[in-house]
Amino acid sequence: MSADNWAICPKCNAAKIAAKEKQLLDAGASYGKVEPAEYLRMLEAANKPIDSESTLREDYEIGVDTNGEFSVDYRCLCNDCKFAFRYKHSEAVGTVGDKPTNRERKSTNAMLGGAERPLELKLGKGE
Ligand SMILES: [Zn+2]
């Protein structure tokens, strides 16, 4: 089965940004302390753009079934760092004649290995 989407992993991306910041600081601190050619090499390496590979596999399903049950199931897993997250929600949205107050909501989200805090899944807020 193929993935629904490949995205940039937030955990890998944060690590790459931190590494790039350290590289820039190290290059700046080396000025006058290393050979000029080495300083230029460090500066050039530090100024290269971050290589943001799409290592985060995303799979999702969303929809309303014939019984009036809305459901969303989102899963992601990073091939590099194994960051994983799952969000699952279902809610009776009713059939003709049902009142909205009869709604029943069930939702779960779970972090799997490697995650430090849950991601927010934003639905329908126009972002
Ligand atoms: Zn990752």
- Rounded to two decimals, what is the model's pTM? 0.68
Domain housing 32: 5-47
The CA-atom distances, in angstroms, between 96 and each of 67, 71, 102 are 11, 18, 12
Residue 111: pLDDT above 70? no
Q: Looking at the domain assignment, is residue 118 inside a domain? A: no
Domain count, the chain: 2
The answer on 90 and 71 residing in a single domain is yes
- For ligand 1, the distance from its centroid to the CA atom of residue 110, given in whole angstroms, is 17
How many of the other CB atoms lie within 10 Å of CB of 117?
Answer: 7
- For ligand 1, the distance from its centroid to the CA atom of residue 111, given in whole angstroms, is 13
Give 30-68 pLDDT, tens digit per residue. Answer: 999 999 999 999 999 999 999 889 999 999 999 999 999
In the prediction, which pLDDT does 13 show?
95
Q: Looking at the domain assignment, is residue 70 inside a domain? A: yes
Q: Looking at the domain assignment, is residue 117 inside a domain? A: no
The answer on 67 and 28 residing in a single domain is no
- For ligand 1, the distance from its centroid to the CA atom of residue 9, given in whole angstroms, is 5
The answer on 61 and 42 residing in a single domain is no
- For ligand 1, the distance from its centroid to the CA atom of residue 105, given in whole angstroms, is 31
